[in-house]
Structure 1
Amino acid sequence: MEKRAVFKSWWLPILFALPQILLILLFFYWPAIAVMKWAFTLEPPFGGVAEFVGLTNFDEVFADPFYWNSVAVSLIFALCGTCFTMLVGLVLAIAVDRRLPGSGLFRFLYILPYAIAGPAAGMAFRFILSPERGLMASVNAAFPDFWNPAKYGAHALILVIVIFAWKWTGYTFIFLLAGLQSVPRSLTEAAAMDGAGPIRRAIDIQVPLLAPTLFFLLVIMMTEGFVGSDTFGIVHSTTGGGPNHGTEVMVFRIVDEAFKGLNYSGASAQSIVLIGLIMVFTFIQFRFIEKRVHYK
């Protein structure tokens, strides 16, 4: 019979839990309550008494065409970044799972980019893919303006998506490789004996059995694409939201609105809308996509 720890005094477990409770209240609930308050008031940037304005901040946000542009950019960034990251991570995990010579070294190399900070990765790729001196300079010499993220918003958006995928592929690789190692070898060996090649075995056996892991990564990566610190760091260090608001994702716009424009109330209203958008996407994922996931 398993023994359970029993505290004789009621205050002792509360005392042990008090530091964690204080941290949660200080860094989670207090900021959340402050954002809710600022979203419905006009908060002076340099201090003073806040004025209750109701839904005025939300009306101003929804009437701004640049805000809807940031919503569209965030949707494209989160969807494309998530799909590309998971696809590359899955391919790498399947390749390493075959246990070919040198696979241990490749495990380390694939995970390594995840340890690099998002702003540092953005700065590195900003020079690597620079249209003047980087790898694309020779391509631009033959085809002028074939690649110019400083001029074209679509090119800049592709650039930040590539950086995001490069940074987070190692994260998805870890989970997918662990999931592949739990797949019974007898299934893949039987399929190989029946003449199924590596691609057919991956599509028919390995990927279906990875459904729970893929669903978990889908939820995590979509959330990271919308509100992750790396999303802001990559955009801030690489394009600064430009050119012409082409990479101005919602989280970057919120920070820029609050700390550069000193519009705390408008930024708070945008934060609440962003949280609501994430909740909607999470609900859709659990409501419609999870039905296709089999855990047994």
Structure 2
Amino acid sequence: MEHAPVFPRPKLALLLLFPTFVILTLFLYYPTIKTFILSFYQVQFLGLSKFFVGLENYQTLFTDSEYLRIFRNTAVFVTATVFLSMSAGLALSMLANTKVRGWRIYRLLLIWPYALPPAVAGVIFLFMFSAQVGIVNYFTDMLFGIKPDWLSTPALAMSVVVLAASWKALGYNVVFYLAALQNLPGDVLEAATIDGASAWQRFWKITFPMLSPMTLFLLIMNTISAFFDSFAFVDLLTKGGPAGSTTVLIYSIYRDGFEYFKTGFAAAQSVFLFAIVVILTVLQFRISKKKVHYAR
């Protein structure tokens, strides 16, 4: 028996979808195609003239020592931010999943940092880690007699940027991990407790494997977010310094495109960043699919 189509008037459906197609074309598809084309050109005189250079922009991107260092900075930042935000989010979600007095307030306090704009989170950490008036240096001076210059020391500056980005993403991970924890089958954990499994054994052998679908989802989303949402933290905290030690790919795109007006080269970096995110997403789905456990 054939079923009637859900929408029997396709012309009307296309008419209703037409405004969406127009918006997507103007603000998504056209800029994407234009950026890809522009990556093969060298733009001069604020866009008044451009010259076709083929793959020269990409060749410079992969051979210039400055951009190789930017790639390393980006890899360090993304890896550290994703690991710290997800591990801390899972740990706090485990604690927040217990019913204690005031548990609603605790959950709200864990989630609210995600509601802050990245610029606001960056300003908070800028004042906290200020060498002169920062509260962090107040405590380090009181306890250890030292006042590090956090934002002017390469290793410390990257640590502050990672910490700020991880804190901002913490609430996002807590929300999803907490929802996943509340939907786990309680009878399995109760059976493990009766069998004498310790708290760590219950977590590592039962809880964590059953959280693998959510972990995979958060791994993908946190990786993409770390690539694209790091601009505000770098711009507000370090401006890419000291000595380029915190310059990541998204900040390099902004700097080359809007400060140095190397539009073609910035377009090549944008295409490369887009390719990285696509490849990582596909690989994570393909490789992790067999290791993801879905509870029945």
Give the Cα–Cα distance (whole angstroms) in 2 for the partners of residues 78 and 88 of structure 1: 15
- How far the C-alpha of 1:143 sits from its partner, in A, is 4.9
1:83 and 2:80 aligned: no
After the TM superposition, list the runs of 4 or more consecutive aligned residues in structure 1 that deviate by more than 4 angstroms: 1-4
1:274 and 2:236 aligned: no
Aligned to 1:182: 183
Specify the code of the residue in structure 1 equivalent to 2:153. Y
- Which structure 2 residues correspond to residues 12-51 of structure 1 after superposition, within 5 A? 12-51=12-51
Contact 1:97 1:181 in 2 (8 A): yes
Aligned to 2:8: 7
1:285 and 2:280 aligned: no
Aligned to 1:253: 252
Aligned to 1:95: 95
- How far the C-alpha of 1:37 sits from its partner, in A, is 1.3
- How far the C-alpha of 1:190 sits from its partner, in A, is 2.3
Specify the code of the residue in structure 2 equivalent to 1:215. L
Q: Structure 1's 204 and 239: CA in aligned 2 closer, same or farther, altered over 3 A?
A: same
Contact 1:89 1:172 in 2 (8 A): yes
SS in 2 for 1:133: coil
Give the Cα–Cα distance (whole angstroms) in 1 for the partners of residues 227 and 13 of structure 2: 37
Aligned to 1:151: 152
**Percent of aligned pairs sharing the same letter:** 30
Give the Cα–Cα distance (whole angstroms) in 1 for the partners of residues 275 and 95 of structure 2: 38
- How far the C-alpha of 1:118 sits from its partner, in A, is 0.7
Q: Structure 1's 17 and 234: CA in aligned 2 closer, same or farther, altered over 3 A?
A: same
Aligned to 1:195: 196
Q: Is there any run of 5+ residues in structure 1 with no aligned partner, and where?
A: none
Q: Structure 1's 284 and 89: CA in aligned 2 closer, same or farther, altered over 3 A?
A: same
Give the Cα–Cα distance (whole angstroms) in 1 for the partners of residues 258 and 279 of structure 2: 27
SS in 2 for 1:83: helix
Specify the code of the residue in structure 2 equivalent to 1:193. I
- Structural RMSD (CA): 2.0
- How far the C-alpha of 1:3 sits from its partner, in A, is 7.5
Give the Cα–Cα distance (whole angstroms) in 1 for the partners of residues 34 and 92 of structure 2: 43
Give the Cα–Cα distance (whole angstroms) in 1 for the partners of residues 201 and 102 of structure 2: 24
Aligned to 1:169: 170
Aligned to 2:111: 111
Give the Cα–Cα distance (whole angstroms) in 2 for the partners of residues 140 and 281 of structure 1: 43
Give the Cα–Cα distance (whole angstroms) in 1 for the partners of residues 272 and 251 of structure 2: 14
Contact 2:129 2:151 in 1 (8 A): no
- How far the C-alpha of 1:70 sits from its partner, in A, is 1.0
- How far the C-alpha of 1:126 sits from its partner, in A, is 1.1
Give the Cα–Cα distance (whole angstroms) in 2 for the partners of residues 64 and 226 of structure 1: 21
Give the Cα–Cα distance (whole angstroms) in 1 for the partners of residues 208 and 45 of structure 2: 52
Specify the code of the residue in structure 2 equivalent to 1:68. L
- How far the C-alpha of 1:138 sits from its partner, in A, is 4.1
Give the Cα–Cα distance (whole angstroms) in 1 for the partners of residues 204 and 271 of structure 2: 40
Instruction: Compute the TM-score of the two structures, normalised by the length of structure 1.
Output: 0.92
Contact 1:118 1:233 in 2 (8 A): yes
Contact 1:88 1:169 in 2 (8 A): yes
Instruction: Compute the TM-score of the two structures, normalised by the length of structure 2.
Output: 0.92
Aligned to 2:238: 239
Kindly provide the CA deviation profile for residues 68-114 of structure 1, in whole angstroms up to 9, marking residues without a partner as x. Answer: 11110111111110011011110111111122222111111111000
- Which structure 2 residues correspond to residues 114-133 of structure 1 after superposition, within 5 A? 114-133=114-133
- How far the C-alpha of 1:45 sits from its partner, in A, is 4.4
Contact 1:94 1:202 in 2 (8 A): no
Kindly provide the CA deviation profile for residues 95-146 of structure 1, in whole angstroms up to 9, marking residues without a partner as x. Answer: 111222221111111110000011111111111122322222442574546x
SS in 1 for 2:46: coil
Aligned to 1:221: 222
Specify the code of the residue in structure 2 equivalent to 1:48. L
SS in 1 for 2:283: helix
Contact 1:236 1:252 in 2 (8 A): yes
Contact 1:45 1:263 in 2 (8 A): no
Q: Structure 1's 287 and 4: CA in aligned 2 closer, same or farther, altered over 3 A?
A: closer
- How far the C-alpha of 1:234 sits from its partner, in A, is 1.1
- How far the C-alpha of 1:181 sits from its partner, in A, is 1.1
